Structure 1
Amino acid sequence: MFVIYLIIAGVVALLAAVFQYGKAKGKSKENLLFAFLRFLSVFAILMLLINPKFRKVTVYEEKPALAIVADNSSSIPYLGQQQQISDILSQLQQNTELAEKFSPDYYTFGKNLKNGDSLSFEEQHTNLSEALTSLKEIYRGKNASVIILTDGNQTYGEDYTYTSLNYPMPVFPVALGDTTTYDDLKIQRLNVNRYAYFRNKFPVEIILNYEGKTAVSSTFRLTSGNRTLYSENVNFSPEKRSEIIRTHLEAGTRGILTFRAEILPVENEKNTKNNYKEFGIEVIDQKTEVLIVSDIVHPDLGALKRSIESNEERTVTLSKPTLDINRINDYQLVILYQPDASFTGVFRQLEKSGKNTFIIGGKSTDWNFLNRAQKDFSRKPARLTEEVQGSYNESYSVFASEDIGLSRYPPLQVPFGDITVNTPYEPILFQKINGVVTKTPLLLTTEKDNKKTALLLGEDIWRWRMQDFRDHKNYEKFDKFIGKLVLYLASDKKRDRLETDYETLYDGTTPVVITAQYFDNNYIFNPEASLGIEVRNKDNNTEKTYPMLLRNNYYEADLSDLEAGEYTFTIRVEGENMQRSGQFRILEFDVEQQYAGADIEGLRKLAGNTGGTISYSSVSDSLYNILTNDERFKPVQKSKEDNIALVDWKILLFIIVLLLSAEWFLRKYRGLV
C-alpha cells in the first residue's frame, strides 16, 4: 500500500511542477531547475501527509544486573554491625571493576524490599523471603546476581532457605555478626489465647530451646507482678535441645492481665534478651455469638466461620433453618446464607426479636420468598448469573473500613437483575462488571429502628479469602474486612458522633494504631475536622500529643514509637466539646533482639541453593573474583526494533523549507514573479 501512495505522491508532485513551469517559454536549464525544486518540495510535503513508518534496529550491549541488598532491621545495630555494613556498601560503590562489568542496583529490606541505599536500622522485622521473592520479580528474564548483606536472622515470613530453592539467580550472602556459637537458652515460642473467660483457667504453652555444647540446668517460671504463678526446673544437653511446658493459669479479674515467662540464664550466656517474654490476655464475661443458617453446603460457610473466628472474641455456630428458633435469641448476629422457603420460621423469629442480620444471596436463593419475608429490599428472580467484582466505595462512612483491593479479586456469582432497596442504605461495594464500575451495590448496610442489616448479593466469597492468602501469604486483610462488618452488625450500641477503634493489648510486634470517626449532626462523616490524640504513660506520667491523619473515611494515629508500658489516651475534636478516652498496654518484646549472632547455617543453605558463595563480615577476594571472572556474568548483545514515523524526522521539515526558499530566492534573482 505504501508503494502505491509513493507513486501517487510522485505523480502529483510531477504534475504540480509541470503545471507551474511546463508552459514557460523555452526549456532553459533554469526552468528545469525550478521545476525540479518544486517537484521535490511538493513530494516531501505529500510524504509528510502520508506519514510512512520505517523500522530502525538498534544493537546494544546489556550488562548483567547486580542487586546489592542491605539489611535495614534493628538487629544490625543490636549486633554492633551498623558500621561494618556501611563500610561494605562504600567498598562496593567505589569498586570500578564491578561498575564496569555490572549494572548495580541498591536496595534495603526489613519487612519489605525498598529501593535505595539509605540505612536507618529502624525496621522492626526481617523478611528475607519477601526480599528474595521481590528481586525474582524485578529481574525476571534478566541475567542478574544478588549480594545480600545481612545477619540472616529472619523474624517474619516464610523460611528463606525454602524460598531459595530453584532460585533463578545466584545469591552471595555476606554474613554480619558473630559466627561463634555460645551457650544460649531462649523462649522459642509462646502460645496463648488472646481472650479468656472470667474465673476460668486458660492454657499456656511455652517452647524452650537450647544451643550449646555442654549439659546445663536452669529454672523456668511464670510471674505476674511480684507473684510466681508457676515454676519448673529444666535440663538441656547437646542431645536434648528443647523442652515444651504446658500449664493453666486462672483469669481471676476482668480486663487486661499481663504475665512474664522467663528462663533463668546460664553462666556466661551472651544474649539474655531472649530469656524472657511478656504476654497478656483480655478477660471477658462472654464472647460474641454468631449464628450462620444455611440449607445448603458451600465453601463460603467455612470461609465465613474461619474469618469471623480469627478474632478469638467471637464464636460461630452453623445450623440448618430447621433449628429451634428460640435459640436465635442467644446470638448477637444471625447470618442467613442463601435463604429459601425453609427459612420461614427463622425470619418470623428475627422479626419478633429485632436481631441484626447479614443476608447473603446467590444462585440457590429463593428471591420470591425473600421479597415476601422482609421489606428492606427486593429484586426480580432470575435463573442466570453473571460474574461481578467488587469496587470499594471510598465514601462509605457507617463504620471505619478500608479498601483491601477487592476490585482485583476473583468475581462473585451474582443473579441477573437490579436490586431495589426500600430503606436508606450505604453501599460498601459497588458492582464491577467486565471492568466497568456501576452504581449498583454489591455489598450494602441499612439501619432502621435500631436494627442493622447487611446484604451481599453474590456467592463464592471463599475465593476472596483464598486470593488474600495468595497475595499476602495470610488471610489478615480479608479477615479484618469481615471482622469490622461483623463488629458493626453484632453491636446494639447506637451510633456516636465520635467513635474510636483500637486494641487494648499490643504484643510489641505489631503497629500501635488507633483510629476514629467523626460525624456531623446528620451523622455524615466529616473529613474536614481536626482531631488530635493525647497519650499518657501511667508508669511515669509523661504525655505526648499526636495529630490524627485522614485516611479515606476515618482518622488514624500511629503510636508505634511508644515504649512498652500502660497508657491512657484522649481523642479530642478541635472546636467541639467532644472527646473519647480509653487505655491500652504495649508489651515489652523486640523480636530483632532474640539472636546473639548471625544465622550462618541458614545463609550457607541460601548460597548453596542458588549457586552462590558465602562471605563473612566483608566481601571476600574470592567473591570479587567470581563476580569479575565467572562466565555466568557476561554482557549480552541485544537488538531493539522501533517503528519511526516520517513525521518525527524534523530534518525533513528543514529540507522542505530549504527547497521552497531556494526556489523563491532563485526566482527573485532572475527577476521572475
Structure 2
Amino acid sequence: MKPKIQMVDSFNEKPILIFAQDDSESIVAGSDSTFYKNNYQDSLRNFLYNLNNQYDVRLMTFGTSCKESNEFTFTQKQTNVDDLFQKLENQFNASNVSDIIIASDGIFNTGKVKSNYNFKNAEIHTILLGDTSLTYDFSINRINTNKYAILNNYFPIEVVIQSNTYFEDVNVFLKENDRVIDQKKVNVNRGINKILFEQQAIKSGAHQYNVELTSALKERNSVNNKASTVVEVIDYNQNIVIISTCPHPDIGVIKEALNDVQGVKVKSFLEDDFKENIIDYNLVCFYKPFSSKKLIKRIDDCQSNNIPTLIFTGNNLDNMQNYFDRIALKKKTKFKGTNLVESHLVNDFKDFKIDKEWFNLWTTLPPLSVPFSANYSLKSNVSILLKQSINGVYLQDPLIYYHKIDGIKHGVVLGEGIWKWKMHQYQKTSSAEYVERFFQKVFQYLKKIDPKKRLNAIVPKITLEDEDLILSAEYYNENFEMDNSLELKLYFVDSIGNKYAKKMNKIDDNYQLILRDLKPGYYSYSMKFEVADLTFSDEGHFSIVKSKREWNNIVADHITMKTISGKSNSYFFRDLNKLVTKLIDSYDKKLITRQKMENKNLLDYKWLMFLLLIFPFLEWTIRKYNGLI
C-alpha cells in the first residue's frame, strides 16, 4: 500500500460583477447621440478597467435578445429588461454574483417591467442614460383594424395618436401604394387620440395601408409619425344556397353549422322566392325537391353546370322513380311509406377523416324519418358515409352517401329530422359541436377544389423586422384532406437576389416554419413538391419592414430605472467614480473563501518523509550516545 496524505488549499474567489448594457436604438435617438456613438464605449471601458482587480467582470447586452458581448451597436429594435433577468437566472444561478449594473435609458417597450427585481443576494445598480428633456411630440401609437375584410364590405381603420401636448391642424394621411386615398385634419389633444377611417374592400387580396402624420410644427423626432397595417380582403370562397319546398327546422341546423365556417356564405330560400342565377353559387342544397318540377329543373341546371349539390330527399319517395338518376338510385328501387331508423357510421369510409368520437355518438342519436324500401339499389359510383340501423341492428341500407356526375361530387341525405340530432346532443352536453362539425365536413367534401390549389401557402404579407415570420402551408390529398406525409420545401429570394431554401416542419396535419432575423426588404417565395408526375406549388411575396418601436418614445425614463435599483443605487454616467469607489470599498465583504482538498501520495513529498524519519533517528542517536540504550 502507498501511504496517502490529505492536502487542503484555501483561496479567495472574486465576486462576479455583471454589467448589462441596453443596446437598443433609443440610446442614440436623443440629442446626445454623438456621445453614445463616439465616446461612450471608451469611457465605459475605463470604468470597468478600474474594477478588474477586484471583480470578475462580465459584459452583457440586452434589447431584442440578451447575450454576453463587449460590443455595443445600439441597433436592437426593442428593449426587454425582463428577458435580461431571465437570462441571468439561467446562466448565473450557481455563480457568486455580487453586483449587477444596468445601463439604460429606461425605455422598455417589450415584456414586463417589475418593481422588485432581485437576483440571489446581488446588489442592483442602474446607470441613467439618455435624454430626459421633454420635446413636443405626437406619434402613431398603433393602428387598429380587422385582419380580414369581406369583398365589397366597409371596414374600419382606427389610427391611435399619442401626444404630450396640444397640437392644432395635424394632417392624417391614409395611403395605399403611395397614393393618398383619404385624409383628415384634426386637432390633437394631450394623451390618446383616435381617428377613424372607413374604407371599402373593393379588390380581393392583401392590401397595405400606410398612415402618415404631418404638422406645421417641426418635431425633433418624426420617425414615429409613420406606420403601416395590412388587411386581407377575401371573397367568399364558397357561396351556398339552400332551396326548399317548405319551411323545416332541418334547414336552420344546416345554416347554423355552415355560418361558423370562415369563407362560407349561406342563403336560404323557399322555391318561389329564389330569383337568382344558380350559377352564382358554388354549392346548392335542395330540401325535399322532388315534389316540385321547378326544383327538379334546378337540380338539372346544377348538374349540367358542374355545380355540386346536396339533396335532402325528405321521407317520401313513393312513385318518383323518374328522378332516381339524380340521386344515384337505380329505378328498380321501390319505396312505400316511411320508416324510423337510427344511424351508424361506416368504418371503411375513406373519402375524408371521421372523428373517433362520432362512432359512439351516432349510435345514440334519435331516429330519422326515411323513405322505406326493402331493396335499396345504388349505382356503382356511390360512397356511403352513414347507414341505417334499427334497434342496434346494423343494416346495409344507406342514409347519407356521395356520388359523382362528370367528375363532380354530389351528396344525398335520405330522410329528414336532423334537427333532433342537434337538440339531443345539446340536451346531453350543452353543446351541439359534434353534429355541427359533422355537417360542416359533409358540405366541405362537396367543395370544388382546383387541383392547382391543393397546396395552399399561408404567409403574412408584412412582418416587422423584430418579429418572427411564421409561415404555414396546407396540402390536400386526392380525398381533399390535409396531408403532410410528403416533404415540402420553401424557396425564397430577397430583394438583391440572394436565394435561400428551407425545409418546412410537419405540425399536426399541416406544415410550419418560423424565420427570424430577416433583413427589411421585399421577398418572393415558392413552396413546392412533386407527387408522381404532378408538381404542386404555391408562390407569392412578403415584405419585412423596419420596426419603429424604439422611436415611438425617445424621452428617457429614469423613474423606472430608479424603481429597479432603488434611488440610492442609481447613478448618472458622469458620477461613475462614486460607483467605482463604492464597489472597491465593499468588494472584500463579497469574497468567498473556498477550500480545495486533494489526496496525495506521501512518497511524493520527500521533504516530509525526511522530517518524519529524522526525528526518530535523532532520538535514537541521542539515547545511544547517553548510554540509555
Separation in 2, partners of 1:275, 1:551: 39
Does 1:205 pair with 2:158? yes
Aligned to 2:491: 533
Residue by residue over 1:297-356, the C-alpha shift from the partner in whole angstroms, topping out at 9 and shown as x without a partner, is xxxxxxxxxxxxxxxxxxxxxxxxxx94775455659xxxxxxxxxx9897699999775
Aligned to 2:562: 605
Q: CA deviation at 1:546?
A: 1.6
Aligned to 2:360: 369
Distance 1:547 1:93, change over 3 A: farther
* 3-state SS of 1:100 partner: coil
Distance 1:327 1:176, change over 3 A: same
Residues 274-285 of structure 1 mapped to structure 2, 5 A cutoff: 274-285=224-235
Residues 96-115 of structure 1 mapped to structure 2, 5 A cutoff: 98-115=51-68
Q: CA deviation at 1:653?
A: 9.6
- Checking the alignment, whether the CA contact within 8 Å between 2:460 and 2:471 is kept in structure 1 is no
Q: CA deviation at 1:619?
A: 6.2
From 487, 490, 498, the equivalent of 1:544 is 498
Distance 1:517 1:543, change over 3 A: farther
Distance 1:564 1:57, change over 3 A: same
Does 1:252 pair with 2:211? no
From 68, 90, 93, the equivalent of 2:45 is 90
From 565, 583, 593, the equivalent of 2:540 is 583
- Checking the alignment, whether the CA contact within 8 Å between 2:61 and 2:69 is kept in structure 1 is yes
Residues 9-158 of structure 1 mapped to structure 2, 5 A cutoff: 41=1, 44=2, 59-76=10-27, 80=33, 81-95=36-50, 98-136=51-89, 138-140=91-93, 142-158=96-112
Residue by residue over 1:256-291, the C-alpha shift from the partner in whole angstroms, topping out at 9 and shown as x without a partner, is 122122221452311111011111111123599xxx
Aligned to 2:143: 190
From 219, 222, 245, the equivalent of 1:269 is 219
Distance 1:345 1:143, change over 3 A: farther
* 3-state SS of 1:614 partner: strand
From 158, 178, 181, the equivalent of 1:228 is 181
Aligned to 2:461: 505
Separation in 2, partners of 1:350, 1:235: 66
Distance 1:557 1:357, change over 3 A: same
Greater C-alpha radius of gyration: 2
- Which amino acid in the other structure matches residue 154 of structure 1? F
* 3-state SS of 1:634 partner: helix
* 3-state SS of 1:87 partner: helix
Separation in 1, partners of 2:231, 2:359: 48
- Which amino acid in the other structure matches residue 242 of structure 1? I
- Checking the alignment, whether the CA contact within 8 Å between 1:153 and 1:595 is kept in structure 2 is no
Distance 1:153 1:86, change over 3 A: same
Distance 1:110 1:502, change over 3 A: farther
Separation in 2, partners of 1:524, 1:245: 45
- Which amino acid in the other structure matches residue 106 of structure 1? L
Provide structure 1 residue ranges, at least 5 long, that are not aligned to the other structure. Answer: 1-40, 49-53, 289-322, 334-343, 361-366, 375-448, 450-485, 659-673
- Which amino acid in the other structure matches residue 196 of structure 1? A
Aligned to 2:621: none
Distance 1:329 1:197, change over 3 A: closer
Aligned to 1:396: none
Distance 1:170 1:211, change over 3 A: farther
Residue by residue over 1:483-517, the C-alpha shift from the partner in whole angstroms, topping out at 9 and shown as x without a partner, is xxx99xx9987999995644232232423455679
Q: CA deviation at 1:138?
A: 4.5
* 3-state SS of 1:179 partner: coil
Distance 1:256 1:496, change over 3 A: closer
Separation in 1, partners of 2:467, 2:225: 21
- Checking the alignment, whether the CA contact within 8 Å between 2:11 and 2:593 is kept in structure 1 is yes
- Structure 1 length as normaliser, TM-score? 0.51
Aligned to 1:614: 571
- Checking the alignment, whether the CA contact within 8 Å between 1:64 and 1:634 is kept in structure 2 is no
Q: CA RMSD in A?
A: 5.3
- Checking the alignment, whether the CA contact within 8 Å between 2:159 and 2:196 is kept in structure 1 is yes
- Which amino acid in the other structure matches residue 209 of structure 2? F
Separation in 1, partners of 2:253, 2:350: 14
Q: CA deviation at 1:57?
A: 6.2
Distance 1:569 1:544, change over 3 A: same
- Checking the alignment, whether the CA contact within 8 Å between 2:470 and 2:514 is kept in structure 1 is yes
Distance 1:595 1:144, change over 3 A: farther
Separation in 1, partners of 2:475, 2:516: 20
Provide structure 2 residue ranges, at least 5 long, that are not aligned to the other structure. Answer: 239-251, 263-340, 366-408, 410-439, 610-629
Q: CA deviation at 1:55?
A: 8.4
Residues 106-505 of structure 1 mapped to structure 2, 5 A cutoff: 106-136=59-89, 138-140=91-93, 142-158=96-112, 160-162=113-115, 164=117, 169-211=122-164, 217-224=169-176, 225-236=178-189, 240-286=190-236, 324=253, 327-328=256-257, 356=353, 369=360, 501-505=457-461
- Structure 2 length as normaliser, TM-score? 0.54
Separation in 2, partners of 1:652, 1:370: 84
